[in-house]
């Protein structure tokens, strides 16, 4: 039971990243590979700041700002230099590898003896799982409240319109390039924030931790959409949190099977994404084959 609760608490932290991926994947219709660079960037900025005596809350916020700046760079490459979205992600994540190594100073940095958000909450009598769950719920509450509010403002409607129909949005006076840059910044800021939170949860930051990040994000989104279809935007964002938790629980179930090698977790993640991406296609085929009701 404790292992399940620990998995759920980590799923809540991963949900922060999944929401970030959702902003580009569903609103802009872009699978942004920049996520694989900004996730470890968040962990690196947070870890090096904490080691140098910065308060954990401020260090976490600095990580989010760093991720947002990386998102702005990606947005500028995509909109001003006209790089395709796929190449934009590849270029930025490749460049961020060197940036992350420079920020961190080495391949990984331990935080075991440092004060983090997790250790701070444990001073109130919570165990690690409870502390992580509180951090996850509080962070998600702030993010969901802010995002739902933002996406229903004039700016938010312009963002959504840009993702739906760029020519029509431009014809109505919306600066679609600026909207894309804002979406990139918001998305990667959240992804870096997730990296900072999980670095504090894991007790270390690693420059290779971003490998497979986009797979986790996409799989969690598709799981949420497969389980519950036809939701309003606000409830869809909430359902994504559930999808992230379910994704972690599925991985836990797979890794708990006898004889399963934990080193194969990335392979299982990729396989799980392939399966959940195929599920909507199967649902559509089965629906087409159902006899008509007379």
**Would you say residue 71 has pLDDT above 90?**
yes
Most confident range, picked from 160-164, 191-195, 282-286: 191-195
Q: What is the pLDDT of residue 293?
A: 42
pLDDT grade for 281, boundaries at 50, 70 and 90? confident
Give the max Cα distance, the chain: 72
Across 147-153, average pLDDT: 93
Q: What's the confidence (pLDDT) of residue 289?
A: 46
For the ranges 90-94, 112-116, 251-255, the lowest mean pLDDT is seen at 251-255
pLDDT mean over 189-209? 96
pLDDT at 157 over 60: yes
pLDDT, tens digit, 9 for 90 and up, residues 19-60: 999 999 988 888 899 999 999 999 999 999 999 999 999 999
Count of other CB atoms within 10 angstroms of residue 234: 15
* pLDDT at residue 262 tops 80: no
Residue 288 — pLDDT band, cuts 50, 70, 90?
Answer: low
Q: Does the structure show a pLDDT above 60 at 255?
A: yes
Which pTM was predicted?
A: 0.93
What's the whole-number mean pLDDT along residues 129-158? 95
What is the full DSSP assignment across 188-255? Answer: HHHHHHHHHHHHHHHTEEETTTTTTHHHHHHHHHHHHHHHS-S--HHHHHHHHHHHHHHHHHHHHHHH
Q: Residue ranges of the alpha helices (H) in the chain?
A: 2-22, 35-51, 56-79, 85-104, 117-122, 128-150, 154-164, 166-171, 176-202, 213-227, 233-255, 265-289
Instruction: Give the model's pLDDT for residue 292.
Output: 42
For residue 75 the two structure tokens come to 């947005």
Task: Quote the mean pLDDT of the chain.
Answer: 91
Identify the band that residue 178 occupies on the pLDDT scale cut at 50, 70 and 90: very high
Rounded mean pLDDT of 193-220? 93
User: What share of the chain has pLDDT > 70, as a percent?
Assistant: 98
> What are the sequence ranges of the domains in the chain?
2-209
- Where residue 186 falls among pLDDT bands split at 50, 70, 90? very high
Check whether 109 has a pLDDT greater than 90.
Answer: yes
Task: Considering only residues 225 and 261, tell me which one the structure prediction assigns the higher pLDDT.
Answer: 225
């Amino acid at each position: 039971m404790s292992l399940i609760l620990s998995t759920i608490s980590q799923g809540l932290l991963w949900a922060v990243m999944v929401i970030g991926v959702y902003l580009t994947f569903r609103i802009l219709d872009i699978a942004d590979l920049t996520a694989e660079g900004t996730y470890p960037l968040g962990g690196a900025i947070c870890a090096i700041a904490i080691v140098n005596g910065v308060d954990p809350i401020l260090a976490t916020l600095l990580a989010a700002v760093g991720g947002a700046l990386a998102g702005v760079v990606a947005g500028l490459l995509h909109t001003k230099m006209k790089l395709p979205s796929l190449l934009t992600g590849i270029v930025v994540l490749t460049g961020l590898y060197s940036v992350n190594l420079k920020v961190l100073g080495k391949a990984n940095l331990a935080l075991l003896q440092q004060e983090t958000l997790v250790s701070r909450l444990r001073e109130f009598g919570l165990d690690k799982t409870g502390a992580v769950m509180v951090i996850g719920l509080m962070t998600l509450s702030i993010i969901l409240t802010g995002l739902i509010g933002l996406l229903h403002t004039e700016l938010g409607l312009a963002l959504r319109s840009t993702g739906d129909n760029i020519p029509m949005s431009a014809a109505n006076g919306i600066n679609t390039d600026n909207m894309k840059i804002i979406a990139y910044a918001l998305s990667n800021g959240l992804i870096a924030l997730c990296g900072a939170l999980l670095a504090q949860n894991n007790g270390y930051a690693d420059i290779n931790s971003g490998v497979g990040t986009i797979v986790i994000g996409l799989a969690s989104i598709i799981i949420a959409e497969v389980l519950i279809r036809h939701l309003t935007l606000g409830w869809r964002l909430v359902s994504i949190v559930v999808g992230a938790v379910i994704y972690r629980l599925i991985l836990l179930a797979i890794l708990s099977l006898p004889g399963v090698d934990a080193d194969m977790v990335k392979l299982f993640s990729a396989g799980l994404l392939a399966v959940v991406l195929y599920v909507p296609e199967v649902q559509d085929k089965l629906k087409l084959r159902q006899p008509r009701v007379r």
